[in-house]
């Protein structure tokens, strides 16, 4: 597999098959690690970076990763390819926009992404559809062990894993769950959820991580604390308390809408379908919003003209870099909107 | 025929058959007349009003009007029926909301509406699809002559016909043409047209006459001056200068849009179709706006899934009183929006 294959399908995390996948789009765990004998990246010179990259890439390529893993030289990749990886949630924006030798190893139908020379020497991400934190923890633990037997991680017996940014020191773990919460937004209760999450020292962000707005009713919930609590405790909190609670709120809000605002709800859902199957120009933001309503409609059984996997796939495929990759040309914003609308109509089998 | 038959079809003026009917929805001429021997209506008592109404109704019923004419006792009619007549452009809002004995005789597939005891004792309206001012002038002249041979009109040899409001004194004529100008609105040139029309002492109003906003890109252009110019001059101006000029502006604006903004134009047209065939709730204003875009799309051949007559008919049938008549029940705003959306989907043959 290679980066060009990414536009042919949507990766496991968007398959809409995991537990609670009507509301939990995906879950993700990433570990931050640094290698003994090298300074943090902000202090390295070009030679050290290149050495680090070559060494870590070699170790990663020796690992037994599932499903045709491949390595992308992010420094040598084109701008479009880098943005494609960001839209795909396989690398962070920082990694795409960074400088110097760096890369990412992708495997297991995009469930695994190992970033080399991002903020830390190594960021190991595992990502799956629905709520699958235990499975992810097993998987990332296995990878962490395999690499840890080949390189020596910077580790302090009191503080734990040492990381470039103090917020990651300790376990170096970040657990994130991407949620689709359209009903909470419609009923105006999302604010309350955001406040409650902040009280629990959780971060709530938009679709593309730090500094992004919640578009199309998608929210990423992640832990802020990495020090003083074990990985298992953090994961347990997510699995047994945080996520079930938010999912339950969303379900209740959906039931309230169905009971008290069925016409308004169906109106939103069907209008979304109407616009997606007829528009000749669709911005990225509008598309996300419409797909969000459509997704809720499919999950609530209010519209049966398509399945959830197609809706999920459209979320990713209609992003700017994906669209340009698919159409095979660099497009300005206006052109993208037209190509996006054509693409969506075609994928939805619209005659209009 | 009776008032209940009105919801079965849309009347001649919406048939979309007259000259220039892609842009000129309809043309209308009305004459204001008062009867000698009675004061203006604001000065009459109930007895005089009743006498006037009975007398004029009798004379009108003796006329040879085409196509199953019928008379509606507006004072005795229900609120819904009165509003139905306003939506149908068969009586004015003032006439609907007025007091005391009053009525309207309707004939010729709604091309003729003779209002008794509106602002003047008699208001004779003729209304047809497209630009048909000569035909209308012949028709209203014939009716005017027939009635004038039965009752004596208040007439001053210097000022002409005397009317309740000085703005109608003289000829008592008002010529109005209803135009559909979506492209001028989209290109932002409508302001210029409105200014030019005002310079020519023409009034530009919304869909339902005085005091209404232009909704859905529909504008009524009418003369302001009734004194010092002959009826023929006023009509000639409309026929040879005013209307052809505005129609030409609109056509040019459409060509500009087609040449320079084809995607944006098609986007508006197809989105309108998408929303009308899927929405579960449609307000009256939104519906007018969407039908306006759809109408332009049909006229420009950008969408061929329906004909102009159906679009025209939907303009009238989706008005509040029409909808309630069709559904056979009094509905609040929210209910109307839901019934309207269902009705539109059904008429457009939507499976969604």
A278-293, pLDDT tens digit by residue?
A: 999 999 999 999 999 9
CA distance A337 to chain B (A): 10
The pLDDT of residue B234 is 92
Q: Which of B67, B76, B113 is nearest to B98 (CA)?
A: B76
Residues of A with CB under 8 A from a CB of B: 263-264, 266-267, 270-271, 273-281, 305, 334, 338, 341, 352
ipTM, 2 dp: 0.90
**A20: which 2 tokens?**
């609670």
Its sign, for the CA torsion B56, B62, B64, B65, is: positive
**How would you class B178 by CB atoms within 10 Å of its CB: exposed for 0-12, middle for 13-18, buried for 19 or more?**
buried
CA distance B17 to chain A (A): 27
Q: Which range has the worst mean pLDDT, A35-44, A162-171, A214-223, B278-287?
A: A214-223
**B271: which 2 tokens?**
């989105």
Strands B218-223 vs A173-180: parallel, antiparallel or unpaired: unpaired
Identify all chain A residues contacting B334, using CB atoms and an 8 Å cutoff. Answer: 263
For residue A263, give the nearest of B270, B273, B280 by CB distance.
Answer: B280
Nearest-CA residue of chain B relative to A276? Answer: B274
Q: Provide the 3-class DSSP secondary structure of residue B185.
A: helix
Across the interface, whether the CB atoms of B274 and A275 are under 8 A apart is answered yes
B52-91, pLDDT tens digit by residue?
A: 999 999 999 999 888 778 999 999 999 999 999 999 999 9
The DSSP symbol for A259 reads H
For residue B352, give the nearest of A273, A280, A338 by CB distance.
Answer: A273
Q: How many CA atoms does the CB half-sphere of A135 hold within 13 Å?
A: 13
Across the interface, whether the CB atoms of B271 and A273 are under 8 A apart is answered no
Identify all chain B residues contacting A281, using CB atoms and an 8 Å cutoff. Answer: 263-264, 267
What are the CA-CA distances from residue A88 to residues A186, A299, B68, B104, B303 (Å)? Answer: 27, 23, 69, 68, 37
Question: In the predicted model, what is the mean pLDDT of residues A218-236?
Answer: 89
The pLDDT of residue A211 is 53
**B293: which 2 tokens?**
């875009």
CA distance A264 to chain B (A): 7
Residue B169 pLDDT > 90: no
Nearest-CA residue of chain B relative to A336? Answer: B263
Confidence of residue A13 (pLDDT cuts 50, 70, 90): confident
Across the interface, whether the CB atoms of A267 and B274 are under 8 A apart is answered no
Backbone angles phi, psi at B78, to 5 degrees: -75, 165
Residue A249 pLDDT > 70: yes
**B319: which 2 tokens?**
């008005």
Q: Domains of chain B (ranges plus CATH)?
A: 3-253 (3.30.590.10), 262-347 (no CATH)
Across the interface, whether the CB atoms of A270 and B281 are under 8 A apart is answered no
A123-153, pLDDT tens digit by residue?
A: 999 999 999 999 999 999 999 999 999 999 9
* Residues of chain A above pLDDT 90, percent: 80
For residue B267, give the nearest of A264, A270, A279 by CB distance.
Answer: A279
Q: Which of A256, A260, A56 is nearest to A151 (CA)?
A: A56
Residue A231 pLDDT > 70: yes
The pLDDT of residue B209 is 54
The pLDDT of residue A214 is 57
Identify all chain A residues contacting B271, using CB atoms and an 8 Å cutoff. Answer: 275, 278-280
Q: Can you tell me which residue has the tokens 């994130």?
A: A176
pTM: 0.91
């Amino acid at each position: 597999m290679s980066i060009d294959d990414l536009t042919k399908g949507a990766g496991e995390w968007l398959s809409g098959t995991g537990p609670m996948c009507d509301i939990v789009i995906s879950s993700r765990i990433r570990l931050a690690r640094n290698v003994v004998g090298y300074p943090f990246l902000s202090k390295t010179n070009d030679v050290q970076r290149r050495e680090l990259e070559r060494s870590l890439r070699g170790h990663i390529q020796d690992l037994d990763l599932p499903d045709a893993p491949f390595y992308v030289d992010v420094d040598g990749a084109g701008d479009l390819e880098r943005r494609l990886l960001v839209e795909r949630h396989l690398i962070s924006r920082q990694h795409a926009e960074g400088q110097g030798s760096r890369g990412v190893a992708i495997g297991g139908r995009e469930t695994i992404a190992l970033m080399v020379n991002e903020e830390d020497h190594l960021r190991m991400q595992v990502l799956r559809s629905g709520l699958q934190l235990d499975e992810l923890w097993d998987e990332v633990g296995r990878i962490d062990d395999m690499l840890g037997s080949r390189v020596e991680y910077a580790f302090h017996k009191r503080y734990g894993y040492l990381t470039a940014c103090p917020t990651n020191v300790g376990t170096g773990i970040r657990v994130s769950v991407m949620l689709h919460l359209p009903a909470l937004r419609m009923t105006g209760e999302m604010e309350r959820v955001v406040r409650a999450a902040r009280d629990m020292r959780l971060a709530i962000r938009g679709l593309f991580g730090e500094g992004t707005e919640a578009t199309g009713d998608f929210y990423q919930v992640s832990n802020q604390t990495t020090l003083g609590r074990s990985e298992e405790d953090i994961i347990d909190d997510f699995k047994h308390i945080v996520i079930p609670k938010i999912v339950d709120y969303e379900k209740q809000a959906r039931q309230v809408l169905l009971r008290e605002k069925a016409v308004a709800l169906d109106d939103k859902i069907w209008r979304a379908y109407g616009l997606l199957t007829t528009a000749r120009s669709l911005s990225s933001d509008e598309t996300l919003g419409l797909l969000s309503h459509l997704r809720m409609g499919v999950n609530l059984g209010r519209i049966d003209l398509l399945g959830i996997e197609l809706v999920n796939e459209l979320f990713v495929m209609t992003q700017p870099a994906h669209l340009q990759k698919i159409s095979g040309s660099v497009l300005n914003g206006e052109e993208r909107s037209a190509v996006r609308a054509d693409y969506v109509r075609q994928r939805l089998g619209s005659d209009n």
